[in-house]
Amino acid sequence: MTSSRQLHLGAFMRPVSLHTGAWRYPGAFPDANFNFAHLKRFVQTLEAACFDAFFMADHLAVLNMPVDALKRSHTATSFEPFTLLSALAAVTERIGLVATASTTFDEPYHIARRFASLDHLSNGRAGWNLVTTSNPDAARNFGRDEHLEHDERYRRAREFYDVVTGLWDSWADDAFVRDVESGLYFDPEKLHVLAHKGEYLSVRGPLNIARPVQGWPVVVQAGSSEAGKQVAAETADVVFTAQSSLEAGKRFYGDVKERRERLGRPRNHLKILPGVFVVVGDSRSEAQDKRAKLDALVHYESGVSSLSIALGHDVSSFDPDGPLPEIPETNASRSSRERVIELARSEKLTVRQLAQRLGGYSGLQMIGTARDIADEMQQWLEEEGSDGFNVMFPFLPEGLDDFARKVVPELQRRGLFRRAYEGTTLRDHLGLPRPGNRFFKSP
């Protein structure tokens, strides 16, 4: 019954566009990333288009790039996720709200509490993108000289997840009786003290907020290492991932779903959503022109440094307007080098265009008419490359409006995407069950 499956769509919204040139695009809002009035409009457009969720990545430091590139980036500053998503919760009704929070640089009591609070404020629409924090500069903002070592980060993450979910279960769903007559506010039999003492964490509990509306807010994971994929299989409801092609996507999809099944848990209770950069045009060439125009807005010097890193070779002396010369073998990652050379060849890009592509955004993309994009998405779904996508918009508002007005109706016509929300919580949208309370039977 593969064909009856439907796509799940998230919107990757921090930054509102991942593309470095986005803020300079004609008609774009240069401050879109940091202007609440704009963000409110965006989320309301996404909700009208029935997106599953607004997804907010997060970093605990300014981006770790040289200041000469940073100063050209519209993502140097942004809102903090809990504050922004709570404000957006108050101006929306149905769309899910996924915040990134770090298991390395925060405390489980705070994290459990904030997600529970966001879940209550939004009537069950919160999600937690559980990260161990990718930007190593974060460590120095939190009293450490160095980032925790990779495996240790994931061991702590695993324990952190157990503590947070344990705290969410502090109260039975029916603990609060609020009996005005007798004066009993809650039933003390329905309160559980966690008293966790583990390798990294020691947390007593109980949490000082009622169990979340969703039982547990939706857990999203984006790790890609072995440890990351394993934590995802064990803990995640949704896996957000960067894939470079449908082939790679299918391998990843199979790998993570199998890990899940080996744990004895249903594979369809884990949704895999690759990030995809979508540029829509009324014709294919219009879409390609938009992409080229956008890339051209990337400052050449920023592009040169990204390209040099990807090739493991300094390209600053190359003729910007000539083709990419032969590059000797280097220490750079072989796959990244080959990917870039192949990209230059297949799209016949000059050094400048290639540099601007890499300095802008060079991951998975879908470019074309609404039908082209729907075709590709359908193929991913039907061939089990994904359960949907986390969509990245090229520039705002136009790129988002185009997707909502052109691609979504095409997906709906094909029966691949909802025409209206059927439930009220993010779990409902994703087709995920509400977890039981590990300490109390359901009433």
Ligand X SMILES: Cc1cc2nc3c(=O)[nH]c(=O)nc-3n(C[C@H](O)[C@H](O)[C@H](O)COP(=O)(O)O)c2cc1C
Q: Which residues bind ligand X (CB under 6 A)?
A: 57-59, 100, 131-134, 222-225, 227-228, 240-242, 275
Sign of CA dihedral 274, 278, 284, 287: negative
Instruction: Confirm or reject binding of residue 187 to its own copies (CB under 8 A).
Output: yes
Instruction: Confirm or reject binding of residue 82 to its own copies (CB under 8 A).
Output: yes
Residue 58 marked in a binding site: yes
Residue 154 marked in a binding site: yes
Instruction: Confirm or reject binding of residue 204 to its own copies (CB under 8 A).
Output: yes
Q: How far is the CB of 109 from ligand X (least distance, A)?
A: 14
**Residue that is written with structure tokens 């992409």 in the block:** 291
Which partner from the list ligand X, its own copies, none does 78 bind, CB cut-off 5 to 8 Å by kind?
Answer: its own copies
- Identify which of 284, 282, 244 has the alpha carbon closest to the alpha carbon of residue 365: 244
Contact partners, residue 142, CB within 8 Å, separation at least 6: 60, 105
Q: How far is the CB of 161 from its own copies (least distance, A)?
A: 16
Site for its own copies, residues 209 to 228, rule: CB under 8 A: 209-210
Instruction: Confirm or reject binding of residue 330 to its own copies (CB under 8 A).
Output: no
Stretch that binds its own copies, among 101-109, 212-220, 223-231, 398-406 (CB under 8 A): 101-109
Count the alpha carbons within 13 Å of 433 in the hemisphere toward its beta carbon.
8
Which partner from the list ligand X, its own copies, none does 24 bind, CB cut-off 5 to 8 Å by kind?
Answer: its own copies
Site for its own copies, residues 160 to 179, rule: CB under 8 A: 171, 176, 178
Phi-psi sector, 369: left (phi>0), alpha (psi -120 to 50), beta: beta
Which helix (H) or strand (E) element contains residue 9? strand 8-12
Max distance between CA atoms of the chain, in angstroms, equals 84
The first and second tokens of residue 314, run together, are 């300094």
Indicate which single residue of 188, 264, 328, 443 sits in contact with its own copies (rule: CB under 8 A): 188
Q: Which is nearer to its own copies, 79 or 389 (CB)?
A: 79
Residue 150 marked in a binding site: yes
- Identify which of 361, 243, 349 has the alpha carbon closest to the alpha carbon of residue 303: 361
Q: Taking CA 249 as the corner, what is the angle to CA 243 and CA 250, rounded to the nearest 5 degrees?
A: 170
Site for its own copies, residues 130 to 159, rule: CB under 8 A: 137, 140-143
Helix, strand, coil percentages for the chain (3-state, nearest 5)? 45, 15, 45
Which partner from the list ligand X, its own copies, none does 107 bind, CB cut-off 5 to 8 Å by kind?
Answer: its own copies
- Identify which of 125, 127, 205 has the alpha carbon closest to the alpha carbon of residue 162: 205
Instruction: Confirm or reject binding of residue 30 to its own copies (CB under 8 A).
Output: yes
- Identify which of 443, 423, 433 has the alpha carbon closest to the alpha carbon of residue 176: 443
Q: How far is the CB of 138 from its own copies (least distance, A)?
A: 8
Sign of CA dihedral 440, 213, 422, 415: negative
Q: Which is nearer to ligand X, 138 or 407 (CB)?
A: 138
Report the alpha-carbon distance of residue 369 to residue 144 in Å, rounded: 49
Q: How far is the CB of 47 from its own copies (least distance, A)?
A: 14
Q: How many residues bind its own copies (CB under 8 A)?
A: 71
Centre a 10 Å sphere on the Cβ of residue 327 and count the other Cβ atoms it contains.
16
The 45-64 contact track toward its own copies, x by CB under 8 A, reads --------------xxxx--
Q: Using CB atoms, what's the residue nearest to ligand X?
A: 228
Q: How far is the CB of 408 from its own copies (least distance, A)?
A: 25
Spacing of C-alpha 15 from chain mean position: 11
Residue 225 marked in a binding site: yes
Which partner from the list ligand X, its own copies, none does 133 bind, CB cut-off 5 to 8 Å by kind?
Answer: ligand X
Which residues are documented as binding site for FMN?
58, 100, 150, 154, 224-225
